[in-house]
Each structure stands twice: as C-alpha cells, then as structure tokens.
Amino acid sequence: MPLIRPFSALRPAPGRAAEVISPPYDVLNTEEARTLAAGRPWSFLHISKPEIDLPPGTDAYAPEVYAKAADNLKRMLNSGILKRDDRPLYYAYRLVMGDHTQLGLVATASVAAYDANRIRKHEFTRPDKEDDRVRQIVALNAQTGPVLLAYPDAPEIDSLLAKTAEQPSEADAVAESGVRHTFWSIRDEDTIARLTELFDALPALYIADGHHRSAAASRVAASRRQSDPGHTGDESYEYFLSVIFPKSQMRIMDYNRLVKDLNGLSEAEFLSRVSERFAIEKADNPVKPENPGQFGVYLGGHWRKLTIRPELIPADPVARLDVSLLQDNLISPVLGISDPRRDRRIDFVGGVRGLRELERRVDSGEMAVAFSVHPTRMEDLMAVADAGKVMPPKSTWFEPKLADGLASHVLD
C-alpha cells in the first residue's frame, strides 16, 4: 500500500469556511469552546466539542456526547454547510501566522505504515485520550481531526505544492487567532500520481502533533479489519487524515517551565546549587535563549542566563534535548521534581504566551521561579523518533495550529 493516498474530503461548501473552521479540539476546554461557538451554529466545535450543546456539567466522555457529535454532523450535511468531493483528491493547505508561512499537503496516511513505524512517533499516549478519539471516529464514521506530520526535505514535493498555491484558492479564512488558513484542491491526475510516488519514496514521515488521533485510527482499523470478512487492505479505514508539511517549514516554539517553590532553599542557596552545573550571568532583559544549552531563569524580580557546562551534554538524542538537560541537571536534583508529568509543583507555558507571562506568574507569588528554554528543533524530534524513543513531556509547542473543519475523512 502507498504511504499516502488521495481521498474524497468532506469540507465546507464554497464561501462557508470562515463559519466552519475552529481551533483543534484539544487546545480548548469545554467553557472556552462554548464561548467561542456562541452565535456560530456552523462552527466545527459543535462536532469536535459537542458537549457544548448539552447541559453544563455533562461528562465530556459520556455516550450522549458522541451521539450529539453525530447529530451535529448530520445537521451540517443536511443543511449543505459541509459537502463531500465526488472523487479522491489531494489538497494544498497554507498557514500564515505573522511573517511565518508553511505550505503542506492534505492527504490520508497509511495505518500499515504507522503500525510498522514508517510514520514515526515521539510521544507516549494516554489510554483515556485514545479511547475518546476511538469513540469519536466510530460515532461519526469519520476522522475529523487531522494528524500533523512532517516530511524530510523533498524539493519536488515543495515545488508541486507551490505551483498549486499559485492558483485561485477554494477556501480562505482568518481564524480568531489571526492565523490565515488557505486551501486548494489538487485535481490534475498526473500531479496526484506524482505526489503519491514522491511520498512513497521517502524513508519516513514524522508525527509532530496528533499521537492520540493516529493511535485511535490504528485501533479502529484493527477492529474493522477483524470484523470485515472481505478485507483487502484498500479500505478507507486503513488510512488516517493528515496534513503533511516539509520539516524545514515547521515552527516549534519554546515550552517554558515554572516551579512553585525552591524546594526549601534560599535564593542564594538555589543559585549556588545551580552554579555547580551551569554558568550564570546576570541579564538586564528577559532571556530568550539563542542557542541550545542556554536557559533563562527568572527569580526574585531578576533574569539570569544559564549555560550548561559542555561536558554535561550527552550523546543520547533524548538526554541531550534542552528540556532534558534542564530537568536532569536542575529541576530534578535541585528542585526535587523527579516526575514532571505528575508533580503539581511544576507548570508549563507555551512560548506563544511570551516571557512576560513567566514574569507575571512569578511576580504574583503564584510561582517562585521560571525557566525559559530554547525551542526543540525538528532535527532533534526526528532523531528521537528515528531512535524509537520518546520525548519528555511538554517538549514541543507547534505554531501555527491547524484548523478543524477544513477537511474530514469519511470512512466508507
């Protein structure tokens, strides 16, 4: 089976994209989704966060929530807000956020390739979140949340997508976040065939975001395969909805750390302990690390720049990540937080909120100390995935985010 293939997307009718698109289901809580969807009957949040249409307090994982998603999808189909293409196509999708632009391909990716680790992972998944996505796919008989993938450098793929983006778009909308989402159909059969061939020649694709969605698609495929006596491997459930960008265009922002206390240390004792493994310099301005191995620390109303001692940087692709260096050389040994997944003394702030957010939370007394971290690089993520390992928690914050609702994959 090919690594990717075209599909007949379910997408907004012409002129309706701005009414439909919504943030990804997992970046909003229920109340935020309810507020954002207010007065917007065709927002895709009614499908991706359907508890907003049920009484407050409804368990987001209750059976009636998934049933409501199916009802809302049917309503949008019956009203002509969503329409399905009459033949399998690829699609070009451009995101513009400020001065950053990335152009990728919307396709379905092979579950078999995912299961064989040709579509590579870098995170653990949680069973409860996988279960949620499985129930959503089953209730809708569709995949509505795309998996964000990256492909290695492939100039001909980039060129084909760029030529498509020279044509008039079929959807063009600016989301509440200010991100512009533009969408094109790729209808030329020769271009479709060539894209399939070019992707199939790649050694691997890499999951950037969407580990629970891809794991759920694999589980649904395994279940349907088992109950389908006529299974051929060509069924739609053997592929999952994806948006695939060149790795060179992907943007990972910093994912910073805050800790509630100094683990019983005074400020001077804390800095003395830190100096055992890091060079410390005073800074007049907020520290946004310019290079790997550098960190900012905000404590007592002042910023300092930390640089880890070079001999402490290991060769292992996980241990050498900046988030690992900070965790293993400071947060764990000095602040006593050995399990950042579960310890409530630590919190994480995506770089999109800026360093002033770190200052605010420390100055308010909510937190005692904040750390700014150099963003994880795509090369580092790919090295971890190639090694079959997993990233530490809160290692990557991808921006801009994809929109839900621009394209869904119906499982025939």
- Check: CB of residue 203 under 8 Å from CB of residue 192: no
Task: Pull the structure tokens for residue 393.
Answer: 């928690």
pLDDT at 354: 85
Q: Which of 206, 211, 207, 216 is nearest to 237 (CA)?
A: 216
Write down the residue that tokens 């079929």 correspond to. Answer: 170
d(CA 17, CA 43): 9
The whole-model pTM stands at 0.92
Residue type, position 152, single letter: P
Q: Tell me how many helices (H) and strands (E) the chain has.
A: 13, 21
Which domains, from first to last, does the chain contain?
4-251+399-410 (no CATH), 255-374 (3.30.1760)
Query: Rounded to the nearest 10 degrees, how much is the dihedral formed by the CA atoms of 10, 12, 17, 20?
Result: -80
Q: How many CA atoms lie within 13 A of 193 on its CB side?
A: 3
Q: Under 8 Å CB-to-CB from 154, ≥6 apart: which residues?
A: 198, 202, 246
pLDDT at 162: 98
- Check: CB of residue 106 under 8 Å from CB of residue 146: yes
d(CA 245, CA 205): 10
Q: Is 186 helix (H, G, I), strand (E, B) or coil?
A: strand
Task: Pull the structure tokens for residue 321.
Answer: 């990540």
d(CA 279, CA 239): 49
d(CA 292, CA 295): 8
- Check: CB of residue 169 under 8 Å from CB of residue 185: no
Q: Which of 102, 78, 100, 81 is nearest to 92 (CA)?
A: 102
d(CA 357, CA 312): 30
Q: What is the helix (H) or strand (E) element at residue 294, kind and residue range?
A: strand 294-299
Q: Is 251 helix (H, G, I), strand (E, B) or coil?
A: coil
Among positive and negative, which fits the CA dihedral 176, 180, 181, 183? positive
> What is the pLDDT tens value at each position of the chain, 412 positions in all?
899 999 999 999 999 999 999 999 988 999 999 999 999 999 999 999 999 999 999 999 999 999 999 999 999 999 999 999 999 999 999 999 999 999 999 999 999 999 999 999 999 898 999 999 999 999 999 999 999 999 999 999 999 999 999 999 999 999 999 999 999 999 999 999 999 999 999 999 999 999 999 999 999 999 999 998 889 989 999 999 999 999 999 999 999 999 999 999 999 999 999 999 999 999 999 999 999 999 999 999 999 999 999 999 999 999 999 999 999 999 999 999 999 988 999 999 987 888 999 999 999 999 999 999 999 999 999 999 999 999 988 899 999 999 999 999 999 8
d(CA 398, CA 286): 22
d(CA 92, CA 208): 18
Q: Please, which residues bridge with residue 365 across strands?
A: none
Could you give the C-alpha distances from 109 to 165, 206, 239, 249, in angstroms and in order?
A: 22, 11, 5, 20
Q: Which of 203, 213, 196 is nearest to 140 (CA)?
A: 213
Q: Under 8 Å CB-to-CB from 185, ≥6 apart: which residues?
A: 85, 89, 90, 91, 170
- Check: CB of residue 1 under 8 Å from CB of residue 110: yes
